[in-house]
Amino acid sequence: MAQFSPTFLDELISRTDLAAIIARHVELKPSGANLVGLCPFHHEKTPSFSVSVDKQMYYCFGCGKGGNAFRFLMEHDGYPFPEAVEFLAQKAGMPIPASYVKNPKEEARKKQGLDLLTKVAGVFARCLQSDEGKKASLYFTQRKLPATIIQRYQLGYAPAGYGFMKRCFGDEPKILQQLESIGVLVSNERGFADRFRERVMFPIRDKQGHVVGFGGRILGDGEPKYLNSPETDFYHKSNLLYGYSEHREFVRKHKMLVVVEGYMDVLAMAAYDLPYAVAPLGTAITEPQLQNILRLHEAPIFCFDGDRAGRQAAWRSIERMLPLLKTEHSPKFLYLPDGEDPDTLLQKEGKEAFEKRLNDDAKPMLETWLTGLKNIAGDGAEGRARMAKKADQMLLNMSDNYLRQAWQSEIEKISGVALQQQKRPQFTASARHQISPKLQQRLIVSPMKHDLFMAALLQKPKYFRSLPEDAFNFFIDTNPAYPIYTRAFSLAGVEETTELDIAAQLMREFPDNHNIARWVNLPLVEDDEFQMLLLDMHITYLDGLRGRSEGLTVIIRINEELKALRNQQHKLNNSLKNKKTL
Ligand SMILES: [Zn+2]
């Protein structure tokens, strides 16, 4: 993929008002040098989400999400990077540089595909309203879907027989191939044929709201009951959720999200003024889908039919969710009465009773898991042993240590069996670098100090100019900040940098490193504090160097430097003390 030039991206960031982008979703209030608000990425009651207006970066001290405007649009609004850039460029009134050739052919083909998908959705929708679509309209009437819902979700109809697509789009080979590439035609030895026939059609949208594929339900008794688009460049069923783009804003605002099994459940809930459901696309729920769900809302309610198949589906969801689960998540599970789904229940008992069910009957995931384990394991001492063994295996997949311990202690209480819990492999930075413990101890300054040091440098890049020459060695390569520090150091050395440049450039070069955004959002490091830190780090470094040095003259020189630094440290300390007492 072609790349935007760094100058263009820097210019774009400097012309972007990050606070305004974020304020569309979060109420921000000034606090110190920054703005703060409730984090849009995790649920919280007191604000830990900070926006540095100065550096155009945000960071959440609760969940660790952070970055610049591109990152926010990507992580929060689901834009791919190029689209995030285009969105901001348009807002800032900056034309996309001509040098940005993102494979124009490929882009044009993609855009054509998306346009065609939109047209096909329109054609199905119009067919539903025509005479040909009477039977399908009747189906929706019987299912109690009002016209407003049919319009809003652009429901449609693909008529019986072959040739509908050709009737709508002509039979030029080029257009037929395009229709095949978006999954609405299939080719066989006799040519192209309509994939969807005599089906009511549900357009499926991606996160940005583009139609990317369709689900089709047969009218009458044919097989299969549901037929979906095949995998195409646009349609990836394991990543998409029905209702996601339609309901995202409502879910964020009203903090309510229900995961149901089918399209009709999503629509029935919307018809009863509960527009906060999503559904997987006719298959068991996948890990990427669960991730999207937990990112959208930390406490989704998963609804399942209470029959055997429903319970198995719930169990699979639990298994897939374990690796993703964090302490801030609190998913719940709701079993509906045997043979019922949200659609049938809403028609039987109405909105209020259904909402009451959601609120009163949904059980926390832990409880659902424990009940499931009991059912699998059976009774007696053997049952309790089986229960512990199965739990032990499942808990290994949990990545959150605290949560795992909490769940473990619950299962031990119930089964009366202590879990073995094989040790999970630990990957630490120091395991990769073999340094003798003694040397390591001498080299490592408290990580807290390194952290503050980085914060000060990125907050006020002018500090780089006051660093001594040997400051390049202050960080050792086992410190997680090492690559960023050395890069920042060389950036500061070669370039006439403005205040914004270093942090922004680092953000671009280390897009996945959330520390950069965290450092700039930490409370401002004061000048005195920085001077103390600098002396401290310098002394620690020289101390370490002396230990590794041979040759008397070198050691004497280091000792002299150390003595001078300690003097400075002493003076600065005294003047700070005096300041405080004044
Ligand atoms: Zn957060």
The alpha carbon of 290 and the centre of ligand 1 are apart by a number of angstroms equal to 18
Whether a cis peptide bond, with omega within 30° of 0, leads into 146 is no
pTM exceeds 0.75: no
Cα–Cα dist 172/329, whole Å:
52
Q: 245 with 207: CB under 8 angstroms?
A: yes
pLDDT at 423 over 80: no
Minimum mean pLDDT among 8-22, 131-145, 162-176: which range?
Answer: 8-22
pLDDT at 438 over 70: no
Cα–Cα dist 481/479, whole Å:
5
The alpha carbon of 280 and the centre of ligand 1 are apart by a number of angstroms equal to 26
Protein residues within 5 Å, CB atom, of ion ligand 1: 39, 41-42, 60, 62-63
Neighbours of 486 (CB within 10 A): 15
Using the structure block, give the residue that is written with the tokens 């460049």. 233
The alpha carbon of 523 and the centre of ligand 1 are apart by a number of angstroms equal to 17
The alpha carbon of 342 and the centre of ligand 1 are apart by a number of angstroms equal to 32
For residues 434 and 257, which has the higher predicted lDDT (pLDDT)? 257
The alpha carbon of 64 and the centre of ligand 1 are apart by a number of angstroms equal to 6
The alpha carbon of 119 and the centre of ligand 1 are apart by a number of angstroms equal to 39
Cα–Cα dist 506/513, whole Å:
9
- Residue 429 is predicted with a pLDDT of 31
CATH topology for 103-236 is: DNA primase DNAg catalytic core, N-terminal domain (3.90.980)
The alpha carbon of 46 and the centre of ligand 1 are apart by a number of angstroms equal to 11
Span 480-504, pLDDT tens digits:
788 888 888 877 765 554 555 688 8
- Residue 509 is predicted with a pLDDT of 83
The alpha carbon of 325 and the centre of ligand 1 are apart by a number of angstroms equal to 15
pLDDT at 102 over 70: no
The alpha carbon of 63 and the centre of ligand 1 are apart by a number of angstroms equal to 4
Sheet of 211-218, strands arranged across: 156-158, 199-205, 211-218, 226-228
Domain span(s) for CATH 3.90.980.10 in the chain: 103-236
The alpha carbon of 16 and the centre of ligand 1 are apart by a number of angstroms equal to 22
CATH topology for 6-92 is: DNA Primase; Chain A (3.90.580)
Domain span(s) for CATH 3.90.580.10 in the chain: 6-92
For residues 307 and 442, which has the higher predicted lDDT (pLDDT)? 307
- Residue 451 is predicted with a pLDDT of 84
The alpha carbon of 47 and the centre of ligand 1 are apart by a number of angstroms equal to 9
- Residue 439 is predicted with a pLDDT of 37
The alpha carbon of 39 and the centre of ligand 1 are apart by a number of angstroms equal to 5
The alpha carbon of 205 and the centre of ligand 1 are apart by a number of angstroms equal to 27
**Token pair of 428, please?**
């630490």
For residues 423 and 214, which has the higher predicted lDDT (pLDDT)? 214
**Token pair of 241, please?**
């959720």
Using the structure block, give the residue that is written with the tokens 């043979």. 339
The alpha carbon of 43 and the centre of ligand 1 are apart by a number of angstroms equal to 7
The alpha carbon of 366 and the centre of ligand 1 are apart by a number of angstroms equal to 23
The alpha carbon of 194 and the centre of ligand 1 are apart by a number of angstroms equal to 47
For residues 296 and 165, which has the higher predicted lDDT (pLDDT)? 165
For residues 16 and 432, which has the higher predicted lDDT (pLDDT)? 16
Neighbours of 574 (CB within 10 A): 10
The alpha carbon of 74 and the centre of ligand 1 are apart by a number of angstroms equal to 15
The alpha carbon of 69 and the centre of ligand 1 are apart by a number of angstroms equal to 16
The alpha carbon of 208 and the centre of ligand 1 are apart by a number of angstroms equal to 23
pLDDT at 325 over 70: yes
The alpha carbon of 386 and the centre of ligand 1 are apart by a number of angstroms equal to 38
